Amino acid sequence: MTRLFNDPAAFADEALEGFTAAHRRWVRPVTGGVVRATATPAGQVAVVIGGGSGHYPAFSGLVGRGLAHGAAVGNVFASPSARQIHSVATAAHVGGGVLLMYGNYAGDVLHFGQAAERLAADGIEARTFAVADDISSAGPEESAKRRGIAGDLPVFKAAAAAAEQGLPLEEVLRVAERAGARTRSFGIAFSGCTLPGADHPLFTVPAARMAVGLGIHGEPGIGEEALPTADEAARLLVETLLKELPEDVADPAGQRAAVILNGLGSVKYEELFVVYRRVAALLGDAGVEIVDPEVGELVTSFDMAGISLTLTWLDDRLEELWRAPADTPAYRKGALDAAEPDLDRAPVTAAAQDTAVPAAPVVPAAPVVPAASDASRRAAGTVLAALDAVARVVDAHADELGRIDAVAGDGDHGIGMRRGSTAAHRAAADAHGLGAGAGTVLTRAADAWADKAGGTSGALWGTILRSLGTALGDREAPDAARVAEGVTEASAAVRQLGGAEVGDKTMVDVLVPFADALAAATGEGLPLADAWDRAATTATAAAAGTADLLPRRGRARPHAEKSLGTPDAGAHSLALITRAVHGALLDHH
């Protein structure tokens, strides 16, 4: 378990702070993550990777020459927000465009996609690529739905080495696509991981058993088998991966492969070497030539006791890129010339500060908010009360939400919702204190929720609050019809962004009927509090109904049967929130 922490909510930020302090030769901190501390040639494509904390050395430990130009770092097991990714990418960009790379998880897909749109709006050419190497998470016919696990490393490295060679953005992207298409991973575990501050692991494995086909966010395996010997584990990993070859590889014999035996957190190096000796023998028996194998902790999951095997089937070009030198805090290969520091953007050192001419103190500009009418500012008070109610109900049910999410997912829904709702309320209070109208209070809350929560829920709740804020505006007193219109727009925006529809076992199964019920009730002329009450009752029933559904999206999809009988965590939290907001509306009627 994770024993050394202060405030669990601050764990990711404090870990990143310590990492940058320890590795100033390679990285420097920027808002949202880290970028190279060394100079990058002008015009080179910037490869920016990222994901949640808890997987070190992914992702921050892979920043340096020959590998990533920057890494956006999210909270524990939660994707970084679009604003964090945009910040890191902007800092890493040197004129050649940006390739954003990440594991194939819904939250990462949403946030990195939004970041790419923001970069494009800034005039920075950007592309995205999601690594999807975990064969246990979907069949070959649905390979685009697979998770990204330890295969992140060879795919990131191929793209980054191509960027170092000066290739343009589209060619770097094609290299990533080629490497991704030829990379497969499979994992097993003997115990789950425990998040900072938690008193139990996200999943457990019975004694003398192992979980097969697990994820790296505490998702349970797709099955269980008897605890193997080291040789038996090696055979399972190798034989499973050799059953699925890339389309242009008919037979493993005579093929070359980059091989990674990855420890997920608690399996020690000596154990990995015992397993690898048999992995190497089995691949040799199959006629596979192993190229520069890696054995160690490369993509972890806190203290999970488990291992995974990754094969990247190489051609001449991919082998050249795999063998290319790299120098990062956690991954080094070959030899590079001495690095030039990034003097243009490096922070001032303490020594330099001692000899510098004292400057006049910089007084930060006071935050400003758009002008608002008195009616909108009064409505902002109700919005603030509603967000306070949201934060309180989420805090009261965070553990319950985590338990529901852990049935078939990674168990972090309660943590993420607590971080997001607390940050949203704080940002809303600050904006309200400056005299903001209802729309601005909601949009400031939206940005804060997305930034602090990260993950899928952060992106979706940021979208919900922003849609409401846009509908309410800062000029008029919002009436019931305007609020209902905003909720309807939020429902449409969430479906467009996440791609889910009713029946997929997501928050959409609650949001759509809630929005429809609210629109119908306000259309009948009911006051907002009464209309909201009716819609909240509909939401509660819809959330309970998700227990009878099988998930078709998200991390729970590979464990669909396990979730039957349990409501969706996102749907349940939304229903709780709609009822809490009703209480705030009654108090401010």
Active site residues: 217
Q: Which long-range contacts (CB under 8 A, 24 or more apart) does 485-490 make?
A: 485/519, 487/514, 487/515, 487/518, 487/519, 488/515, 488/516, 488/518, 488/519, 490/463, 490/464, 490/515
CA torsion angle 140 143 147 149 (round to 10): 70
In a 10 Å sphere around its CB, with 0-12 CB exposed, 13-18 middle and 19+ buried, how is residue 5 labelled?
Answer: middle
CA angle (81 as vertex; 540, 11 as ends), nearest 5? 90
The dihedral through the CA atoms of 369, 426, 543, 498 has a sign that is positive
Distance separating alpha carbons of residues 183 and 241, to the nearest angstrom: 10
Measuring CA to CA, which residue among 451, 589, 396 is closest to residue 74?
451
The dihedral through the CA atoms of 162, 168, 169, 173 has a sign that is negative
For residue 358, give every residue at least 6 positions away whose Cβ sits within 8 Å of its Cβ, in sequence order, or none: none
Residue environment code for 475-490, b if the CB has 16+ CB neighbours within 10 A, otherwise e: ebebebebbbbbbbbb
Residue 243 CA to chain centroid, in angstroms?
30
DSSP string computed for 339-405: PPB-TTTPPPPHHHHHHSPPPPPP-PPPP------HHHHHHHHHHHHHHHHHHHHHHHHHHHHHHHH
Distance separating alpha carbons of residues 286 and 243, to the nearest angstrom: 12
Token pair for 321: 């890129």
Tell me the residue type at 460.
Answer: L
Q: How many CB atoms lie within 10 A of CB 355?
A: 6
Token pair for 143: 């390979």
Token pair for 105: 């998880």
Tell me the residue type at 47.
Answer: V
Contact (CB, 8 A) for 407 and 558: no
Measuring CA to CA, which residue among 486, 487, 513 is closest to residue 502?
513
Q: For residue 262, what is the enclosing H or E element?
A: strand 256-263
